[in-house]
Amino acid sequence: MGKRTRGKQRGQQDIFQAFQRGKRTGRRCLASGSSHQGDFADGGKQCVGMSLRFLVDRCLGVIDDVSFTTEDVDHVLYSGDQLYRQIAEERDVQYLLVEEIPDVITVDNERLDITKHQPYSGTLEATESNNDSLVYALPEALANAVERSQYLFVTIGSSPGYTSAFYYKGDGTFLCFDSHSRNLSGESSPSGRAVIMKIESLEAAVSYTKDLAKSLNQTTACFEITPTGISRSLIQSPDRRDADDHPMRQHNSPVSANSTPGSRNEEGYPRRKIASWEKTKPPMKVMVVNHLRNEVDQHWKNLMQREWQILLTTWNPANMTVIQLMRIEKTQMLVSVRPCTTLANVWERELMTIASTS
Which phi and psi angles does 88 have, rounded to 5°? -60, -40
Asked if 164 and 47 count as a contact pair (C-beta separation under 8 A), the reply is yes
Residue range(s) in the chain whose domain bears CATH number 3.90.70.120: 24-232
Contacts of 38 (CB under 8 A, 6+ apart): 44, 180, 181
The predicted pLDDT at position 352 comes to 36
Look up the CATH architecture of domain 24-232: Alpha-Beta Complex (3.90)
* CA 211 – CA 204 distance, rounded (Å): 10
Q: Which residues pair with 347 in a beta bridge?
A: 339
Asked if 167 and 56 count as a contact pair (C-beta separation under 8 A), the reply is no
* CA 39 – CA 34 distance, rounded (Å): 10
pLDDT in tens, 25-76: 799 999 999 999 999 987 889 999 999 999 999 999 888 877 899 999 999 9
Which phi and psi angles does 253 have, rounded to 5°? -70, 130
Query: Would the pLDDT of 239 be above 80?
Result: no
* CA 49 – CA 153 distance, rounded (Å): 11
Which of 4-8, 28-32, 302-306 reaches the highest mean pLDDT? Answer: 28-32
The predicted pLDDT at position 337 comes to 34
pLDDT in tens, 264-279: 444 444 444 444 433 4
Rounded mean pLDDT, 313-324: 34
pLDDT in tens, 207-223: 999 999 999 999 888 99
Cis peptide before 247 (omega within 30 of 0): no
- Alpha-carbon distances, residue 12 vs 1, 7, 16, 29 (angstroms): 16, 9, 6, 14
Q: What percent of the chain has pLDDT over 90?
A: 48
Domain 243-356 in CATH 3.30.310: yes
Q: Give the pLDDT band of residue 334 (cuts 50, 70, 90).
A: very low
* CA 193 – CA 213 distance, rounded (Å): 17
- Alpha-carbon distances, residue 2 vs 6, 68, 164 (angstroms): 6, 32, 38
Q: Evaluate if pTM is beyond 0.95.
A: no
Asked if 238 and 184 count as a contact pair (C-beta separation under 8 A), the reply is no
Residue range(s) in the chain whose domain bears CATH number 3.30.310: 243-356
The predicted pLDDT at position 324 comes to 34
Q: Give the pLDDT band of residue 131 (cuts 50, 70, 90).
A: confident
Asked if 156 and 209 count as a contact pair (C-beta separation under 8 A), the reply is yes
Contacts of 43 (CB under 8 A, 6+ apart): 37
State the sign of the Cα–Cα–Cα–Cα dihedral 239, 243, 245, 248.
positive
pLDDT in tens, 65-101: 778 999 999 999 999 999 999 999 999 998 999 999 9
Tell me the three-class secondary structure of the chain, residue by residue: CCHHHHHHHHHHHHHHHHHHHHHHHCEEEEEECCCCHHHCCCCCCCHHHHHHHHHHHHHHCCCCCCCCCHHHHHHHHHHHHHHHHHHHHHHCCCCCCHHHCCCEEEECCEEEEEEECCCEEEECCCCCCECCCCECCHHHHHHHHHHHCCEEEEEECCCCCEEEEEEECCCCCEEEEEEEEECCCCCECCCCEEEEEEECCHHHHHHHHHHHHHHCCCCCCEEEEEEEEEEECCCCCCCCCCHHHCHHHCCCCCCCCCCCHHHECCCCCECCCCCHHHHHCCEEEEEEEEECHHHHHHHHHHHHHCCCEEECCCCCHHHCEEEEEECCCCEEEEEEEEECCCCCCCEEEEEEEEEECC
* CA 115 – CA 151 distance, rounded (Å): 10
The predicted pLDDT at position 84 comes to 96
